[in-house]
Amino acid sequence: MIGQKLILSSIEKRYGEAWAVREFNLQVAPSEFISIVGPSGSGKTSLLTMIAGFEMPSAGTIRIGERDVTTLAPNKRDIGMVFQKYALFPHLTVRQNIAFPLKMRSRLTRRALETRVEEMLLLVQLEDYGGRYPNELSGGQQQRVAVARALVFDPPVILMDEPLGALDKKLREDMQFEIKRIQERHGATVIYVTHDQEEALTMSDRIAVMHQGRLQQVDTPEQLYRQPISAFVADFIGTMNFVPAMKIAERAGKDVVRLPGDTVIEVDRRSGTRSPGEPVGAVLRLAVRPEHIALGHWDKNNSSTLAGVVETSIFVGSAQIVLVRLKDRADVVLRVQRPAGEIARLTRGDLVEVKLDGATMLAFTGEERRAA
């Protein structure tokens, strides 16, 4: 196996008074594909430049396999990197670009080098484009050259900095699978930085979520989606609705909360998802995914249900998205996802019952503000 483990311990980076990265700890397993996501300015690119060696951390260590590379010069690190805008050398052909890392290492004979370059061209499906210059290629092709250049010398770790950011949506989706395929065949450990959480969900073994320079949570895509550790992560990964509520009692490991309109429900208290000791009377934010909200006919005689008014209903192909404004909390608009065609379409102004299931909801403390 080519991939090696990468260990980041207590990484900090400060520019003057401003912190870019704080108290960052992460262990990446050999051949793992891990994504670092976060809004812009969350410190993910700073982290990547420190792993690549372009900047030094203010404190902490970086290890690749058994080597401490914290202060090692970037050209001694043996890390492959795919840059945001590819950074292909404009004066060199595709073949020369891919051969460049091998030439700099001069471990191979001329013959072996040429064979290796042809292998890489084949791997990224550009065997007919070796003689072209980068600006004679499309965005997707340039992207593949960049991947080939990063992989050609079999680095144990590959860094990718928003590599698909410059491509249009359709091509981006194709390339996600392409990169994943190449990585699985090649076996390198990949650190993939993106601000696109969907991309991270599709490609990664694990995802690390960063916010304001700190690591919020690192987990598998599924765990992250189901068990976000904070309201920020809940909001950042996938789409999440937040409903304000007040805790009124505790019963058999569950929180009893009161929703707007005086509806009372029980919410599972799961370990690690929030501070468990919220006192009775505390304001909580209940998080619920769009697909976990059901809509029903409004029954005016049943006062214990949550009422909402339909704002819009959008058909998105595979599903129907309905925006519902709560009747008793006009500042809360819920996004509800229903399987398309299953139910009659709702129209603006319809009064509906919003059905929430405590088992699919998470409770967070009320103070945390929604991230922009």
| Contact set with other proteins (CB under 8 A) | 9-10, 52-57, 59-61, 68, 70-71, 73-81, 83-85, 87-91, 100-101, 104-105, 133, 135, 149, 153
C-alpha–C-alpha distance, residues 268 and 254, integer Å: 5
Output the smallest distance, CB 178 to other proteins, in A. Answer: 21
Output the smallest distance, CB 74 to other proteins, in A. Answer: 4
Nearer to other proteins, 92 or 323 (CB): 92
Output the smallest distance, CB 53 to other proteins, in A. Answer: 7
Nearer to other proteins, 103 or 181 (CB): 103
- CB 111: neighbour CB atoms within 10 A? 8
Cα 151 to the center of its chain, rounded Å: 23
Output the smallest distance, CB 229 to other proteins, in A. Answer: 23
Output the smallest distance, CB 217 to other proteins, in A. Answer: 22
Nearer to other proteins, 190 or 288 (CB): 190
Residues linked to residue 258 through DSSP beta bridges, in sequence order: 246, 264
Amino acid identity at 114: E
C-alpha dist (Å) from residue 365 to 229, 253, 279, 362: 11, 17, 11, 10
C-alpha–C-alpha distance, residues 179 and 185, integer Å: 10
C-alpha–C-alpha distance, residues 225 and 176, integer Å: 20
Nearer to other proteins, 81 or 179 (CB): 81
Nearer to other proteins, 77 or 211 (CB): 77
Output the smallest distance, CB 166 to other proteins, in A. Answer: 13
Nearer to other proteins, 156 or 221 (CB): 156
Q: Which residues of 120-154 are buried (b: 16+ CB within 10 A; e: fewer)?
A: bbebbebeebbeebbeebebbbbbbbbbbbbbbbe
Output the smallest distance, CB 73 to other proteins, in A. Answer: 8
**Nearest CA-CA partner of 204 in 65, 5, 6, 31:** 31
Burial class (CB in 10 A: 0-12, 13-18, 19+), 40: exposed
Nearer to other proteins, 161 or 199 (CB): 161
